[in-house]
Amino acid sequence: MTNVTLYHNPRCSNSRGVLAILRERGIEPHIVEYLKTPPSRAELLALIAASGLSARELIRSKEALFTELGLDAPGTTEDALVDAMLAHPVLINRPIVVTAHGTRLCRPPELVREILPEA
């Protein structure tokens, strides 16, 4: 049994695409619908660190709320971005997949293959 966690939004086509790829490989992931069950600060910081991305790279900058909150202002700190994602989980980009082989923001969905065990 492969231990895979998918931070998932069922309304997102990329997220559904990753889930389909996992299931095609016979992997039934632990699904975290992060809009219903947001990560804690520690979990979000761990995801950011493990993915090798910054908070700025993981935030959904195309979400209207991003601009409404002024997060596009020069000098917005990583801490402020993390605070915004915690307060408004819709700002967390998805899908994020965690496996024993790494953590990835899987946009496009095919990126998930980079962190799956060999078939």
Cα-to-chain-centroid distance, residue 1: 22
What is the spatial distance between Cα 57 and Cα 119, in angstroms, rounded to a whole number? Answer: 30
H runs (alpha helix) in 1-119: 13-24, 41-51, 55-58, 64-68, 78-87
What is the spatial distance between Cα 62 and Cα 94, in angstroms, rounded to a whole number? Answer: 13
Catalytic residue positions?
Answer: 12
Residue with tokens 């994020």: 96
Closest CA to 89 of 38, 47, 49, 46: 38
